[in-house]
Amino acid sequence: MTDVALSTPVVLIIFNRPEKTERVFAEIEKVRPSKLLVVGDGARVDRASEIEKVVATRRIIERVNWPCEVLTNYSEINLGCKLRVSSGLNWVFEQVEQAIILEDDCVPHPTFFKFCEELLERYRNNQSVGMIAGCNLQIRRNVNDYSYHFSNTTPIWGWSTWRDRWQSDYDLSMSKWPEIRDSGKLSEWFEIKKEHDSYKLIFEKVFQGLIDTWDYQWQFACRLNRRVAVVPNVNLISNIGFGVDATHTKEESYLASMVMEEIKFPLNHPQKVIEDNLMNKKNNILSRSQILKKRLINLVKKFI
Task: Please tell me the number of Cα atoms within 13 Å of 242 on its side-chain side.
Answer: 11
Pick from 157, 144, 158: nearest CA to 115: 158
CATH superfamily of 1-104: Spore Coat Polysaccharide Biosynthesis Protein SpsA; Chain A (3.90.550.10)
Global pTM value: 0.88
pLDDT in tens, 162-184: 999 999 999 999 999 999 999 99
Average pLDDT of every residue of the chain: 88
Neighbours of 297 (CB within 10 A): 12
For the chain, what are the domain ranges?
1-104, 106-304
Are the beta carbons of 100 and 89 closer than 8 angstroms?
A: no
Asked whether the beta carbons of 45 and 82 are under 8 A apart, the reply is no
pLDDT digits (tens, 9 = 90+) for 41-64: 999 999 989 999 999 999 999 999
Above pLDDT 90, what percent of the chain? 77
- Residue 240 pLDDT greater than 90, yes or no: yes
Quick one: pLDDT at residue 303? 42
Quick check: helix, strand or coil at residue 157? coil
State the average pLDDT over residues 252-278.
83
Relative to beta strand 98-103, strand 129-133 is unpaired
Contacts of 83 (CB under 8 A, 6+ apart): 214
* β-pairing verdict for 148-151 and 106-108: unpaired
pLDDT tens per residue, range 73-104: 999 999 999 999 999 999 999 999 999 999 99
- Nearest residue to 14 (alpha-carbon basis) of 85, 103, 80: 103
d(CA 89, CA 281): 30
Distance CA 60, CA 182 (A): 48
Cα separation, 10 vs 70, in Å, equals 10
Nearest to 162 by CA among 136, 134, 126: 126
* Average pLDDT of the residues in 190-206: 93
Low-confidence winner among 82-86, 112-116, 281-285 (lowest mean pLDDT): 281-285
Residue 235 has phi, psi (to 5 degrees) of -90, 125
- Single-letter amino acid code for the residue at 12: L
Most confident of 124-128, 143-147, 286-290: 124-128
Question: Cβ(116)–Cβ(11) under 8 Å?
Answer: no
- The more confidently predicted of residues 253 and 179 is 179
Largest alpha-carbon pair distance within the chain?
57
Please report, for residues 135, 192, 199, 235, 274, the alpha-carbon distance to residue 263 in angstroms, rounded to integers and kept in the order given. 12, 31, 31, 8, 21
E-strand stretches of the chain: 10-14, 35-40, 69-74, 98-103, 106-108, 129-133, 148-151, 159-162, 228-232, 237-239
- Closest alpha carbon to 2 in 42, 29, 22: 29
- Alpha-carbon dihedral angle through residues 97, 103, 109, 111, given to the nearest 10 degrees: 0
Distance from C-alpha of 167 to C-alpha of 87, rounded to nearest angstrom: 12
